[in-house]
Amino acid sequence: GKLVIATHNAGKLKEISALLAPYGTDCISAGSLGLPEPPETGKTFVENAVIKARAAAEASGLVALADDSGLSVSALDGRPGVYTADWAERQWFEGDPGRDWYMAMGKVEGMLQALGPDTPRDCWFCCVLALAWPDGEYLVYEGRANGTLTWPPRGTMGFGYDPVFVPVGRDVTFAELEPDEKKAISHRADAFAKLVADQFGV
């Protein structure tokens, strides 16, 4: 059957479509159905993913998949975390989105630098996928990718914070990896592996 991808983030939609491609799923985006974006009032990735997936499933009458994700920095007690998107979109909403992202990444870097040169730069990306049915039932799958925050930003692929995230075991940022390479090691890939094992038995 059809699956609604309940995201309005173009970068996520691209990655989710690529991750689902091998399973022959008939994906439709929430944007193409004109579904509204529910307010993300949750305090956790799980709460927000469930809010988005249930809203899309109820509005469309179809099974819906949502992704709530973000970057957490150890030395900042896990911030920005669930507020990752807000740090870019609320504080610098005016102006071009490329600049907004540069400013948001710089804000995180600035906070780290303010803690001193010996501050650990460990961070991680989280991705929570929620799959919801029109009757309100849902399942969640969590993924994580560990890394370090680098500055200045490097690379042009991917989206969001990819240019400042160096995954463990590599010396390039997510934005310097080909989409297929990021797809193999990302937080989204980790969450998808669990979803696919559970839903498709592979």
Q: Which residues bind ligand ITT (CB under 6 A)?
A: 7-9, 12, 40, 52, 67-70, 84-85, 88, 125, 158-162, 174, 186, 188
Is residue 143 a known part of a binding site?
Answer: no
* Closest to ligand ITT by CB, 124 or 125: 125
Whole-angstrom distance, CA of residue 91 vs CA of residue 176 = 27
Is residue 121 a known part of a binding site?
Answer: no
* Closest to ligand ITT by CB, 24 or 109: 109
Whole-angstrom distance, CA of residue 159 vs CA of residue 168 = 19
CB burial readout 139-163, b (16+ within 10 A) else e: ebbebebebbbbeebeeebbbbbbb
Whole-angstrom distance, CA of residue 142 vs CA of residue 191 = 5
> Which entry of 67, 68, 100, 190 is annotated as an active-site residue?
68
Least distance CB 83 / ligand ITT (angstroms): 9
Q: Return the beta strands (E) in the chain as ranges.
A: 2-5, 26-29, 63-73, 122-132, 138-149, 165-167
**Which sign, positive or negative, has the C-alpha torsion 8, 11, 12, 14?**
positive
Is residue 184 a known part of a binding site?
Answer: no
Is residue 9 a known part of a binding site?
Answer: yes
Least distance CB 63 / ligand ITT (angstroms): 17
171 has catalytic annotation? no
Q: What's the distance, CA 57 to chain centroid?
A: 20
Least distance CB 119 / ligand ITT (angstroms): 21
Structure tokens at 164: 């400042």
* Closest to ligand ITT by CB, 50 or 118: 50
Is residue 187 a known part of a binding site?
Answer: yes
* Closest to ligand ITT by CB, 112 or 129: 129
Least distance CB 180 / ligand ITT (angstroms): 14
Tell me 80's DSSP state.
Answer: B
Binding-site residues for Mg(2+), please? 68
**Known binding residues for substrate:** 7-12, 69, 159-162, 182, 187-188
Residues with a catalytic annotation lie at: 68
